[in-house]
Amino acid sequence: MVGNLSKYLKAMLLKQTLVLVLCLTASLAAVDYAPKDYSNLIGMKGFSDDLLKMHFQLYEGYVKNTNLLLNALQDFQSKNPLDSYEYGSLKRRLGWEFDGMRLHELYFENLGGIGGMPSPQSSLNDALLKQFGSFEKWKSDFSTTALTRGIGWVILYQERSTGRLVNAWINEHDVGHLVTLRPILVLDVWEHAYLTQYGLNRTAYVQAFMDNINWNIVEKRIQAK
Ligand SMILES: [Fe+2]
């Protein structure tokens, strides 16, 4: 009788332990990111279908590699000493792949509009006027920043604490971000974003970008001060 009870309690304990391990494993398991669908941009004036489809494919590569990298890091943590050169190398790549994924999402999402300028009644318009004096002065600074030699991104940031707006150059994907500032408008100026259609004429590509900004989306990203 006592032996049977002991076996029963051991079986229950083992079962509960297994359930606990499964729950912990599930909670620690990485949730893979899914690439977003931006096919609504196909047909956008100034952006050929081939250019956009190629760009979507590149973006999907960043999503795939972000997932691979995060899973590799998690796998590495459970099997290897962490003070290795290999672990450090994986860590160094995370900002590049993750930022590559997120920047492309912000870029595609702020396209598909009719360009022009923000609504005169919007918080964004107020902030642009306060910071730059006029929309045209902001546009000139943003466009000039986009001609910075090299590959990268231009981001219009908003500082949360002060409302200050800054046009910043981001080198590749991960160098130059202004920490704690919110990305409001994102422009991809890697060569793959325009070279096959515009050649070296980056100025024409930047104008095409301006002509397709979805200001409704951009205005939603700003926080009223
Ligand atoms: Fe890109």
Distance 139 CA to ligand 1 centre (A): 21
| Residue 178 belongs to a domain | yes
Domains identified in the chain, total number: 1
DSSP strand pairing (181-188 vs 165-171): unpaired
Question: 202: which residues sit within 8 A by CB, 6+ positions away?
Answer: 146, 147, 189, 194
Cα 49 to ligand 1 centroid, rounded to whole Å: 15
Give the domain range for residue 155. 123-223
CA of 41 to the centre of ligand 1 (A): 14
What's 174's DSSP letter?
A: T
Q: 192 CA to middle of ligand 1, Å?
A: 6
44 inside domain: no
Q: How far is the CA of 29 from the centre of ligand 1 (A)?
A: 29
Quickly count: other Cβ atoms within 10 Å of residue 98's Cβ. Answer: 19
pLDDT per residue rounded down to tens, the chain (225 residues): 455 655 655 555 455 544 444 434 444 445 899 999 999 999 999 999 999 999 999 999 999 999 999 999 999 988 877 788 889 999 999 999 999 999 999 999 999 999 999 999 999 999 999 999 999 999 999 999 999 999 999 999 999 899 999 999 999 999 999 999 999 999 999 999 999 999 999 999 999 999 999 999 999 999 755
Which CATH number covers residue 131?
A: 3.55.40.20
Q: In angstroms, what is the span from residue 56 Cα to ligand 1's centroid?
A: 8
Query: Helices (H) and strands (E) in the chain — how many of each?
Result: 8, 3
